[in-house]
């Protein structure tokens, strides 16, 4: 054990030396050991452009927000048959800017948020060939040693309007057809303490509100009007910001806005931001929640984290005085979801425990199987298949079967650049990106 630790430390020291000399690039991809690569002056310029434009099928589905239409990683019915056993056919590939924002698809248009020089830029591109339709830029640039350069938040598209949160805390609404800016507002105070790895929450649209889990000592969760961007309410919950996006879970027949700050999870009333309940949630090293909560039943939900924490099922009930009570019904170290969100399918959880794909029974937390290591990537579920896009651009398909682990295929799809971006899937078209390139694939039979 000590010998292995010394070896790791030596490798890190050597890597740091080469990094400082400018010979290599060094980045963290989720684990404790950094990825080492040859430095490039401009990674986007080195990427080949593939362009096989086609006549697109008529759109019947869209991917309009973080983790899909329902923010849960579930791919809706596609309307076309999918050949899951083979790698999808590539239609085109174009250079893209740095960042970890996810992809959106709607009405034969792709929307992405990327770093372009000193500007965070919202792009609209043609689904048929990747060509730019319009762009909207905000002068800001987030960069840190661990997670790199570029935006983290994913825009939300609703009723022809794009709601985008930039890394400096500016929220704006733009027309999805033209890119015209309709309003913008600053969502953070002058003394706001940014999370260590940047603002990562993606806007949640609920009724006529845009809800953001930003953190802060003066209203950690804030809601803004979709109409004009004016502040609607600030929560009484306060604390340093973490990395989850707001989500509303139906628990006990009521809407509970799940929110988090460092060391704490809370349920808020989404109408006014008032705290309904809260409970400590401690994570080793940083107390920073990253993975999204998942509703498991009408009165229970899952929390999971990496850094040795694991997963817990929390059960919500009401006491004699109508107060909310929370108890833990099970715990498991077999699902340490660091920042890859698990998915729930037919009573079973599938997720990356650090970088290892696992399956757990949602009711009991019982481990059903351990699969293989896919890196710190993104998971989607469609029908009875799991799509895993690893952090090195490898795309894999696995059966969503609690009885056994079965991989159908696993191949390099994007370049080897760090890939923490969520892909999009609509009408059989699979669109994925990393910090170097954006690519469109056709997965129909």
Angstrom distance (rounded) from CA 124 to CA 430: 16
Which secondary structure element, helix H or strand E, spans residue 8, and what is its range?
A: helix 2-21
Q: Which residue has the higher pLDDT, 31 or 18?
A: 31
Contact 212, 246 (CB under 8 A): yes
Q: Rounded CA gap, 277 and 171, in Å?
A: 28
Strand partners, 224: 210, 231
Evaluate whether 377 touches 389 at the Cβ level (below 8 Å): yes
Q: How confident is the model at residue 23 (pLDDT cuts 50, 70, 90)?
A: low
User: What confidence score (pLDDT) does residue 47 get?
Assistant: 55
CATH 1.10.620.20 is the classification of domain 40-442: no
Spatial CB neighbours of 218, under 8 Å, sequence gap ≥ 6? 189, 234, 238
pLDDT of residue 57: 86
- Dist CA 338 CA 288 (whole Å): 10
Q: How high is the pLDDT of residue 247?
A: 97
pLDDT higher for 47 or 410?
A: 410
Measure the CA–CA gap between 171 and 161, rounded to whole angstroms: 13
Burial of 45 (0-12, 13-18, 19+ CB in 10 A): exposed
Which residues are paired to 92 by β-bridges?
Answer: 51, 440
Band of residue 284 on the pLDDT scale cut at 50, 70, 90: confident
Cβ pair 432, 394 in contact under 8 A: no
* pLDDT at res. 168: 98
**Which pLDDT score, from 0 to 100, does residue 287 have?**
81
Q: pLDDT category, 11, cuts 50, 70, 90?
A: very low
What per-residue confidence (pLDDT) applies to 382? 94
Measured distance CA(394)–CA(212) in Å, rounded: 32
pTM above 0.85, yes or no: yes
Distance CA 346, CA 338 (A): 23
pLDDT above 70: percentage of residues in the chain: 89
E strand map for 214-253: 221-225, 231-234, 247-251
Q: 49 pLDDT exceeds 90?
A: no
Give mean pLDDT, residues 289-305. Answer: 96
Q: Tens of pLDDT along 329-345?
A: 999 999 999 989 999 99
397-420 burial: b if 16+ Cβ within 10 Å, else e: bbebbbeebeeeebeebbbebbbb
pLDDT for residue 34:
62
With 50 as the cut, is the pLDDT of residue 18 above it?
no
Using 50, 70 and 90 to split pLDDT, how confident is the model at 21?
Answer: low
pLDDT (0 to 100) of residue 12: 47
pLDDT digits (tens, 9 = 90+) for 148-186: 999 999 999 999 999 999 999 999 999 999 999 999 999
Q: Which of 347, 352, 259 is nearest to 310 (CA)?
A: 352
Q: Cβ atoms within 10 A of the Cβ of 163, count?
A: 22
Q: Is the pLDDT of residue 251 over 90?
A: yes
Residue 410 phi/psi, 5-degree rounding, is: -155, 115
Q: What is the mean pLDDT of residues 424-441?
A: 96
């Amino acid at each position: 054990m000590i010998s292995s630790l010394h070896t790791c430390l030596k490798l890190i020291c050597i890597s740091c030396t080469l990094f400082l000399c400018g010979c290599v690039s060094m980045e963290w991809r989720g684990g404790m050991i950094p990825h080492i690569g040859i430095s490039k002056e401009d990674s986007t310029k080195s990427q080949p452009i593939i362009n096989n434009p086609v006549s697109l099928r008529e759109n019947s589905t869209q991917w309009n927000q973080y983790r899909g239409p329902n923010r849960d990683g579930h791919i809706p019915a596609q309307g076309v048959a999918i050949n899951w056993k083979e790698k999808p056919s590539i239609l085109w590939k174009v250079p893209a800017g740095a960042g970890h924002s996810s992809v959106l698809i709607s009405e034969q248009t792709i929307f992405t948020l990327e770093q372009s020089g000193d500007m965070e830029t919202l792009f609209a591109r043609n689904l048929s060939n990747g060509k730019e339709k319009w762009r909207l830029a905000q002068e800001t640039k987030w960069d840190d040693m661990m997670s790199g350069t570029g935006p983290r938040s994913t825009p939300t598209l609703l009723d022809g309007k794009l709601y985008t949160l930039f890394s400096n805390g500016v929220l704006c609404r733009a027309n999805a057809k033209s890119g015209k800016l309709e309003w913008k507002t600053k969502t953070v105070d002058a003394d706001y303490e940014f999370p260590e790895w940047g603002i990562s929450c993606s806007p949640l649209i609920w009724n006529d509100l845009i809800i953001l889990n930003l953190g802060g000592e003066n209203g950690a969760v804030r809601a803004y009007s979709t109409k004009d961007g004016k502040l609607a309410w600030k929560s009484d919950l306060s604390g340093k910001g973490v990395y989850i996006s707001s989500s509303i879970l139906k628990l006990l027949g009521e809407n509970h806005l799940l929110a988090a700050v460092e060391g704490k999870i809370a349920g808020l009333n989404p109408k006014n931001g008032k705290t309904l309940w809260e409970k400590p949630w401690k994570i080793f090293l940083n107390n920073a929640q990253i993975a999204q909560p998942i509703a498991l039943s009408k009165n229970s939900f899952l929390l999971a984290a990496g850094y040795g924490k694991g997963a817990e099922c929390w059960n919500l009930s009401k006491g004699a005085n109508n107060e909310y009570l929370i108890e833990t019904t099970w715990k498991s170290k077999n699902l340490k979801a660091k920042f890859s969100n698990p998915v729930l399918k037919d009573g079973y959880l599938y997720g990356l425990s650090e970088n290892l794909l696992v399956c757990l029974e949602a009711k009991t937390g019982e481990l059903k199987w351990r699969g293989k290591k896919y890196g710190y990537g993104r998971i989607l579920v469609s029908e009875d298949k799991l799509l895993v896009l690893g952090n090195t651009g490898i795309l894999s398909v696995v059966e969503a079967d609690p009885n056994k682990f079965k991989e159908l295929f696993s191949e390099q799809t994007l370049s080897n650049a760090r890939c923490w971006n969520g892909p999009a899937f609509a009408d059989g078209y699979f669109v994925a990106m990393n910090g170097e390139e954006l690519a469109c694939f056709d997965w129909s039979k």
